[in-house]
Amino acid sequence: MTTPVLDDGVVQSAPRRRLFFAAGAVAWLFLYQANLPFWDWIVYDVGGLDETTRVGGAVHFFLYDTTKIALLLTGVIFVVTVLRSFMSVERTRALLGGRREGVGNVAAAGLGVATPFCSCSAVPAFIGFVAAGVPLGVTLSFLIASPLVNEVAIVLLLGLFGWKITLLYIAGGMTIAIVSGYVLGKMHLERWVEPFVFETRLHGKVIDSAEGLSWDDRIAMGREEVGTILRKIWPYLLVGIALGAAIHGWVPEQWIADNASSGLWGVVVAVGLGVPLYSNAAGVLPLVETLHDKGLPMGTVLAFMMSVVALSMPEMILLRRVLKKPLIATYVAVVATGILATGYLFNLVV
């Protein structure tokens, strides 16, 4: 399936590709380093705004954060997409087939993170897994991990909170996916799966979407994915950062401390707000960063973020095609409980 390349094209393309990568990496690092001094200069020196005023702080926060997040997203989505092009849902299913619960849940959560997967394919993938004999709980571990520990969330956490919080989030997200899938599996909810799923006979020849790709294909996929994701999330991102900037400038820390701080109900409220909110990591995280700066505890912040990305209305509506309502309700309840527990745990340790 590779596109025909002329003889000299083959010889030249590898060095040219390396040059392209090196130039891209250097340009990226330069821009990332220059971001803070550049906006300091523009906002405070050229623009004449005062660093200590609300407007100055908010404008600077907005411009600096927007640039930083755009750079982080571009770099990491590109790299992640190229790496993930070596994996596919088909390979994941082959790896999960015949695995028992327990080990299977761990593998499924890990593969949920590593496999390129769009929630628009959740239903065919669900049927494909279950009809091929992957246990229900293992399949659910995959479906929970995939949106929960996604590359956009990881990038943003890394940029805004550093690697320790990011690792904590990944570990927490994986644990939720593993345990929730395992628990749901043990509850034997197969009777609430639409019967046609088990009756589906796979008659097509399976095509492995990761096969037969050249490096040029993978790079093209990486570039395309950066464009697709940025086009999709920029409005959320801008609104999120603008809200963050406004809170940064105007909401006093005392208000957060009085209304939303460590209290017992903080995490519950955060999850209660997060589940019906349908956004993506990009829209929520800038907001979350500001709230944390203002004193909202880390566990509460991460629980909010997890509930926004892991449990979304549109995905539940999609899954309704294959899961009956009681199973969807149980699924939401189990995952939400996992997020609550993780939030409280993080509040204790961070």
Partner 1 sequence: MDIKILGTGCKKCQQLETLTRGAVAELELDADINKVTDPGEIAAWGVMATPALVVNDEVVIAGRVPTAQALAALLTNA
On whether the CB atoms of residues 304 and 157 are closer than 8 A, the answer is: no
Binding pattern for the stretch 152-191 against partner 1, x by CB under 8 A and - elsewhere: ----------------------------------------
Instruction: Choose, by CB under 8 A, the member of 103, 202, 273, 317 that binds partner 1.
Output: 202
- Is residue 124 involved in binding partner 1 (CB under 8 A)? yes
Residue 204 is a binding residue for partner 1 (CB under 8 A): yes
Rounded distance between C-alpha atoms, residue 244 and residue 159, angstroms: 15
Q: How far is CA 2 from the centre of its chain?
A: 31
Burial of 317 (0-12, 13-18, 19+ CB in 10 A): exposed
Closest listed residue to residue 331, CA positions, set 71, 53, 137, 103: 137
Nearer to partner 1, 100 or 205 (CB): 205
| Residue 123 touches partner 1, criterion: CB under 8 A | yes
CA-wise closest residue to 262 among 173, 336, 350, 337: 350
261 scored as a contact of partner 1 (CB under 8 A) = no
Nearer to partner 1, 38 or 320 (CB): 320
- In angstroms, give the least distance from the CB of 207 to partner 1: 4
- Alpha carbon distance 290, 59 (integer Å): 14
Bridge partners of residue 323, in order along the sequence:
193
d(CA 89, CA 329): 26
Among 200, 261, 262, 337, binds partner 1 (CB under 8 A): 200
Instruction: Give the nearer residue to partner 1 in terms of CB position, either 127 or 334.
Output: 127
- 301: part of which helix (H) or strand (E)? helix 298-310
Choice from 76, 89, 152, 309 touching partner 1 (CB under 8 A): 89
Number of alpha carbons in the 13 Å side-chain half-sphere of residue 279: 24
CB atoms within 10 A of CB 8: 8
> Least distance in Å: CB of 223 to partner 1?
13
Sole residue written with tokens 């589906």? 200
With contacts defined by CB under 8 A, how many residues of the chain interact with partner 1? 35
31 binds partner 1 (CB under 8 A): no
Contact status: 34 vs partner 1 (CB under 8 A) = no
Q: How far is CA 335 from CA 172, 182, 208, 324, in A?
A: 12, 11, 31, 17
216 vs 151: CA distance, rounded Å: 22
Span 220-259, contacts to partner 1 by CB under 8 A = 220-221, 228
**112 vs 244, which CB is nearer to partner 1?**
112
Does 100 interact with partner 1 (rule: CB under 8 A)?
no
Q: Which of 121, 162, 235, 333 is the binder for partner 1 (CB under 8 A)? A: 121
Q: Which of 82, 127, 237, 267 binds partner 1 (CB under 8 A)?
A: 127
The residues binding partner 1 (CB under 8 A) are 1, 3, 88-90, 93, 116-118, 120-121, 123-125, 127-129, 131, 196-197, 200-207, 209, 220-221, 228, 318, 321-322
